[in-house]
């Protein structure tokens, strides 16, 4: 068969959405070109483990070409898509042009600093491998510097770690960092006075985990407090110059470390399309996930704004991206057959966040769990979801080692 005559589907982004869509279209009579600026799929939910020296990047990333080795109708191309001409139906990448019949836009998101340039320049973020490794290097360097700093105030500033954003990423990172300090760093730096070390979690709202039910918000607060994390609610940050945070009420915090986890906006490419976008840059889609005026284009995941049943946008979660990918793939098949398309409906699989060793919060099948049981569910689910048998095994061994020996194996300061 001359495959060149088959409809050409371009998928931009090999994240949770793009990967799932490509896999769901494996048997469709089409040619797929999957494009990503990275040659690997990244399991972002465990990025914070790289930042706190719990895992190495290769344990949470997997080469796209290996994933699709056996998928005959797919070609992978690595490169940055810089423009899309929606009317003429082509994309621009690596200086060349690729025409498409159908397009699935799955470019994900980026950190939203809400135009606060000083924080973007001086703070850290968790979005990709580069930012997670930079955070890890910095955290470990702070301990090295503090170990040779005689001035008490300077030492305290080096050992004050501020995380901004009381959502799942901020909570998970703060809990894990609190534990790294009390279980591991105290052994590596036996002369360090724990009184000098502070982990602060700043949240502008009046509770942590805003999207979680009340009982789990409370459980999160209690579990995190036990990990020596100072939780500051109703605390807005206005400026950070690299060594001093200014809060909305005029107070200051002296610190060399600010990790910003308080916002996500759509990837840059969505802003170049000239289509309707949400306040945070997501492409506004029809209920069928098609782009208004361009039925051959589907937008999914963190790059898409699809209003759900209660008129609210869907949360920016991997589970949403994956379910949308399945729905977009199914609708694309229907289009090929000339059938009626279906509206997307999100099936909420529940909520889950870990707060360090033996502690997590979960909402599954309408039931709330917290503590050890929730943590076990978290461990099993995350190991199950990591791509690649080898990665699963290595992550499992790593976590078991950390668990039984109260140790973390990746405390390396590497060149960036």
Catalytic residues: 172
Q: Is residue 161 classed exposed, middle or buried when 0-12, 13-18 and 19+ CB atoms within 10 A define those classes?
A: buried
Both tokens of 98, joined, read 């690729």
Site for ligand FAD, residues 147 to 206, rule: CB under 6 A: 168-169
Q: How far is the CB of 318 from ligand FAD (least distance, A)?
A: 4
Q: How far is the CB of 166 from ligand FAD (least distance, A)?
A: 14
Please tell me whether residue 208 binds ligand FAD under the rule CB under 6 A. Answer: no
Please tell me whether residue 127 binds ligand FAD under the rule CB under 6 A. Answer: yes
Q: Are strands 90-93 and 96-99 parallel, antiparallel or unpaired?
A: antiparallel
C-alpha to C-alpha distance for 54 and 136, rounded to whole angstroms: 10
Q: How far is the CB of 208 from ligand FAD (least distance, A)?
A: 15
Applying CB under 6 A, among 10, 45, 162, 410 the residue interacting with ligand FAD is 45
Angle at CA 258, nearest 5°, toward 257 and 264? 150
Task: CB nearer to ligand FAD: give 216 or 267.
Answer: 267
C-alpha to C-alpha distance for 362 and 176, rounded to whole angstroms: 17
Sign of CA dihedral 162, 172, 225, 196: negative
Site for ligand FAD, residues 236 to 275, rule: CB under 6 A: 267, 269
Please tell me whether residue 64 binds ligand FAD under the rule CB under 6 A. Answer: no
Site for ligand FAD, residues 300 to 319, rule: CB under 6 A: 301-303, 316-319
Task: CB nearer to ligand FAD: give 173 or 256.
Answer: 173
Applying CB under 6 A, among 32, 56, 74, 81 the residue interacting with ligand FAD is 81
Give percent helix, percent strand, percent coil of the chain, each to the nearest 5: 35, 25, 40
Residue nearest to ligand FAD according to CB distances in the complex = 15
Q: How far is the CB of 196 from ligand FAD (least distance, A)?
A: 28
Kindly state the number of chain residues that form the binding site for ligand FAD, as judged by CB under 6 A.
Answer: 34
C-alpha to C-alpha distance for 167 and 210, rounded to whole angstroms: 7
Applying CB under 6 A, among 129, 321, 341, 387 the residue interacting with ligand FAD is 321
Q: Given the structure tokens 């986890």, which residue do they identify?
A: 261
Task: CB nearer to ligand FAD: give 127 or 326.
Answer: 127
Q: Are strands 229-232 and 198-202 parallel, antiparallel or unpaired?
A: parallel
C-alpha to C-alpha distance for 173 and 48, rounded to whole angstroms: 6
CB 242 within 8 A of CB 162: no
Q: What are the residues binding ligand FAD (CB under 6 A)?
A: 12-18, 35-38, 44-45, 47-48, 80-81, 106-108, 126-127, 168-169, 267, 269, 301-303, 316-319, 321
């Amino acid at each position: 068969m001359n495959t060149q005559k088959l409809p050409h589907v371009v998928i931009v982004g090999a994240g949770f959405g793009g990967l799932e869509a490509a896999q769901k279209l494996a048997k469709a009579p089409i040619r797929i070109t999957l494009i990503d600026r990275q040659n690997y799929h990244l399991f972002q939910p465990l990025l914070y483990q790289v930042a706190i020296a719990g895992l190495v990047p290769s344990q949470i990333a997997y080469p796209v070409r290996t994933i699709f080795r056996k998928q005959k109708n797919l070609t992978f191309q690595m490169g940055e898509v810089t423009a899309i001409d929606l009317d003429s139906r082509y994309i621009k990448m690596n200086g060349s042009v690729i025409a498409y019949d159908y397009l699935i836009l799955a470019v994900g998101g980026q950190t939203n600093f809400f135009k606060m340039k000083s924080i973007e320049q001086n703070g850290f973020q968790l979005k990709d491998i580069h930012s997670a490794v930079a955070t890890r290097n910095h955290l470990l360097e702070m301990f090295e510097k503090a170990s040779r700093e005689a001035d008490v105030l300077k030492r305290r500033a080096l050992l004050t770690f501020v995380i901004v954003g009381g959502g799942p990423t901020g909570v998970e990172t703060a809990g894990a960092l609190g534990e790294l300090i009390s279980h591991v760093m105290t052994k590596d730096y036996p002369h360090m006075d724990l009184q000098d070390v502070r982990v602060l979690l700043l949240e502008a709202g009046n509770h942590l985990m805003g999207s979680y039910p009340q009982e789990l918000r409370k459980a999160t607060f209690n579990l995190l407090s036990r990990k020596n994390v100072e939780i500051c609610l109703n605390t807005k940050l206005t400026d950070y110059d690299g060594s001093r945070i200014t809060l909305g009420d005029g107070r200051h915090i002296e610190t060399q470390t600010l990790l910003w986890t308080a916002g996500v906006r759509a990837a840059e490419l969505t802003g170049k399309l000239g289509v309707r976008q949400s306040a945070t840059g997501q492409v506004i889609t029809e209920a069928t996930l098609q782009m208004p005026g361009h039925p051959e284009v589907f937008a999914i995941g963190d790059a898409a704004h699809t209003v759900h049943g209660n008129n609210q946008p869907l949360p920016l979660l991997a589970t949403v991206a994956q379910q949308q990918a399945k729905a977009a793939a199914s609708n694309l098949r229907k289009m090929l057959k000339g059938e009626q398309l279906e509206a997307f409906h999100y099936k909420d699989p529940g909520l889950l966040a870990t707060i360090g060793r033996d502690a997590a919060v979960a909402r599954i099948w309408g039931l709330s769990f917290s503590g050890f049981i929730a943590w076990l569910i978290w461990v099993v689910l995350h190991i199950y979801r990591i791509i690649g048998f080898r990665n699963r095994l290595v992550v499992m061994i790593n976590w078991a080692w950390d668990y039984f020996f109260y140790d973390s194996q990746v405390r390396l300061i590497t060149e960036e």
